[in-house]
Amino acid sequence: MNILEKMPKKVIVITGGAGFIGSHLCDKLIENEYKVICLDNFITGRLENITHLLKDKNFKLLERNVTEYIKIKGRVDYILHFASPASPVDYLNHPIPTLKVGSLGTHNTLGLAKAKKARYILASTSEIYGDPLVHPQREDYYGNVNCIGPRGVYDEAKRFAEALTMAYHRVHKIDTRIARIFNTFGPRMRINDGRVVPNFTHQALSNQPLTVYGQGIQTRSFCYISDLVEGIYRLMHSKGNEPINLGNPGEFTVLALAKLVLKITRSRSKIIFKPLPADDPKQRRPDITKAKSILNWRPQIELREGLVKTIEWFRAGSEP
């Protein structure tokens, strides 16, 4: 027997593992010979995202709410905390669970990391920058957040999660990583999750008007899911504990995105305009200098290529 075969596989606990990003991470980790324990309470996660993994001997699903005490038997080498509603529709529908998973959920998973002496990776977000006054956004920018606005439940939950993670790093010497994730898209997004790519795709494929808020001149940066997962995987194995932006620095107006979706789908849909939601960011673009330097990472998939893949998946019936 090869000596490497005698070595026990490293064990990873991932919260929110049945979600959009979490399920793709589970795939990546299984492919790279890790044992994966997936925790999800299915508020926004979907069993269909991980059905193909259920018979894999290295994958285990536990239906858990991480805002309650977490007990895992045996060794744990890494903890990836990715549980949280992440779209405006979801966190506006579930404001208190969103705050609880960012606070209590982060506290519980950090406690597990402390008990197991595991490396800890927090999924944070570009939303911690709020409606930014600095462009592009660097990790040393503190943000411009309305803490009592409707979006504040998500923004502040993640800002608190970052603060608690760094406190555990400083006080308890937990080996932590923080990924500030910018707009990500791809297969397994829910068609009704309220984010702009599935919204436009659903409207275009069903020949409904594409809803653009304001004049559509607000900008976003869109990272394809495989690029993001590679960035997170590299972050897991990197050195350093400070937050790192992960996103595609390509910047597009929302109106340009709508027109591109119409072109790819060859839809007959028109574009209609509605008032901007409260605290909607006017600009969003990551500075990924740190990611390029520390992780040797940069996105490979351009927006059009990623949209073609995503639209094909939705057109096929939204099957994982």
Catalytic center residues: 154
pLDDT, tens digit, for every residue of 222-279?
999 999 999 999 999 999 999 999 999 999 999 999 999 999 999 999 999 999 887 7
Provide the pLDDT for residue 8.
Answer: 74
The answer as to whether 104 is a domain residue is: yes
Query: Does residue 111 lie within any of the structural domains?
Result: yes
Position 73 in a domain:
yes
Report how far residue 128's alpha carbon sits from residue 201's, in angstroms, rounded to the nearest whole number. 27
Domain range spanning residue 79? 9-186+223-248+286-300
pLDDT score, position 219: 93
**Given the DSSP bridges, would you call strands 210-213 and 184-185 parallel, antiparallel or unpaired?**
unpaired
Query: How many distinct structural domains can be found in the chain?
Result: 1
pLDDT of residue 319: 39
Question: Could you tell me where the DSSP H helices lie in the chain?
Answer: 3-6, 20-31, 88-93, 95-116, 152-172, 196-205, 225-236, 254-265, 289-290, 303-315
> What CATH number corresponds to the domain at position 20?
3.40.50.720
Measured distance CA(307)–CA(193) in Å, rounded: 17
Would residue 120 count as lying in a domain? Answer: yes
Residue at 132 is within a domain: yes
- The proportion of the chain whose per-residue pLDDT surpasses 70, expressed as a percent, equals 97
0.85 cut: is pTM over it?
A: yes
Decide the pairing of beta strands 223-224 and 210-213: unpaired
